[in-house]
Amino acid sequence: MQKAFLFAGQGAQVPGMACELTSPRVKELFEIADCVHPGLIDLMRGGTIEELSRTVHTQPCMFVADLAYAYAEEERSGAPDAVCGFSVGEIPALVYAGVFSVQDGLRIIEKRAALMEEACTETGGAMIAAVKLTPEQAVLAAQECGDAWAANFNAPQQTVIAVTAEKEAKLTQIIARMGGRAIKLRVSGAFHCPLLRNASEQFDAFLRDFEFRAPAIPVYANLTALPYGAGDEARATLSAQMRSCVRFTDTIAHMTAAGIDEFVEVGPGKVLTGLVAKCRPQA
């Protein structure tokens, strides 16, 4: 039996997440986080859901929480054979696999969050989950709507669509007309779509100052649904992820084909393992 850790993404944040964990490794992580980003752990402990849902706050908090849960789970059940992070969760997954240090991972996530918040302030938009539609139907709904893009391929009947603020109501109506259900996600803008192209290019330039070491274990990428490489290829993969769709269903299929048959979510909630159950009921 082979096991993978799934690092949770934006939208899973809750007040107090990971603050119940008390192992020495988690305490060290919290100390590092407070040195790099003073006040971050206090925000995780006492921030409101509104504060935690601002992208500039969500992403650093989720980074620390995901890593903390991963360290705790490793102590409980042993290390995984592979990892995958959903959207923002890809960066703590890369840190866990040894691609970056915790300090560099925090600096990277802070830059990503700042760029995405700035882009979303300028462009607005939303993320709408189209439930009970096939991926093909969701793509057609986005095309019919215009200014909308299939962004997260989560499960056979759940695809998240990024949409501009002006077209949000129209998209919701199209999804309903096609027999689906539209659910607005708890995020602050339209992610994983062309609206973030400029931010993605700025992120790529920022990442050139960091070394991308070869992962100690496979890290499956949202962009390709395949394991990360190292160096410039890895940098290009991570920077393009911001403006590209998350291929979660394909990722789970490739991980299963590689022998992974146990999936453990590291983060607040059980969103990702719920999606795995829809993709691979036997896992």
On whether both 81 and 221 belong to a single domain, the answer is yes
Inter-residue contact 181 to 131 (CB < 8 Å): yes
Distance CA 136, CA 27 (A): 45
Which residues are known catalytic residues?
87, 192
pTM of the predicted protein model:
0.95
Residue that the structure tokens 């918040």 belong to? 117
The reply to whether 70 and 157 lie within a common domain is no
Which helix (H) or strand (E) element contains residue 128?
Answer: strand 126-131
**Do 164 and 246 belong together in one domain?**
no
If asked whether residues 173 and 246 sit together in one domain, one would say no
Pairing mode of beta strands 260-266, 181-184? unpaired
Measured between its terminal Cα atoms, the distance across the chain in Å is 11
Domain range for 132: 125-184
Kindly state the DSSP code that residue 214 receives in the 8-state scheme: P
Structure tokens at 235: 């940098």
Yes or no: say if 124 and 137 are a contact pair by the CB < 8 Å rule.
no
Based on the structure, what is the number of domains in the chain? 2
pLDDT in tens, 59-110: 999 999 999 999 999 999 999 999 999 999 999 999 999 999 999 999 999 9
CATH of residue 132's domain is 3.30.70.250
In a shared domain, residues 45 and 92: yes
Q: Specify whether 174 is located in the same domain as 202.
A: no
pLDDT in tens, 168-195: 999 999 999 999 999 998 888 899 999 9
Write down which residue in 184, 215, 235 finishes a domain: 184
Same domain, 132 and 262: no
180 and 197, same domain (yes or no):
no
